[in-house]
Amino acid sequence: MDSMSKAPQDNRPTVWSSQHGDLRKRSSKPAAQTSLPPQQQTAYLHRDSKGRGGKTVTLVENLALSEEDAKALSKKLKQACGSGGTVKDGVIEIQGEHRQKIAEVLRELGYKVKLAGG
């Protein structure tokens, strides 16, 4: 019918270029983010339990940190709380309700802290 009259779409990406070589081997990672000093940042602490089977986590958001610095800060916060956690998409997640303890640690490190959420 009419489907034959439409031009086929080519969704396949270019994999070889005579100028650049094999494009599949190029990393598409974004440029590394640099960390701002703690005195120039405000950390927002949220409590969340959505999508976690009713378990509460404390989220540390709005920090401009490199991946390495975020992991190091996450480790320090987990040790201070005696809890587990992770870093996802630049947000530090600490298992459990630890907003007050995390706020104390962040203030000692020089961050401004705002508690948000219920």
DSSP string, 100-113: HHHHHHHHHHT-EE
**What pLDDT score does 29 carry?**
54
Positions of the chain with pLDDT under 70: 1-10, 13-15, 17, 23, 25-32, 117-118
In this predicted model, what pLDDT tens digit does every residue of 23-46 receive, in sequence order?
676 655 555 578 888 888 899 999
Q: How many CB atoms lie under 10 A from the CB of residue 33?
A: 13
Strand-pair partners of 112: 42
Structural tokens at position 106? 């962040």
Structural tokens at position 59? 């989220």
**What pLDDT score does 4 carry?**
56
In order of their start, the domains of the chain are 32-115 (3.30.780.10)
Q: What is the pTM of this model?
A: 0.70
User: In which residue are the tokens 């703690």 written?
Assistant: 38
**What pLDDT score does 97 carry?**
93
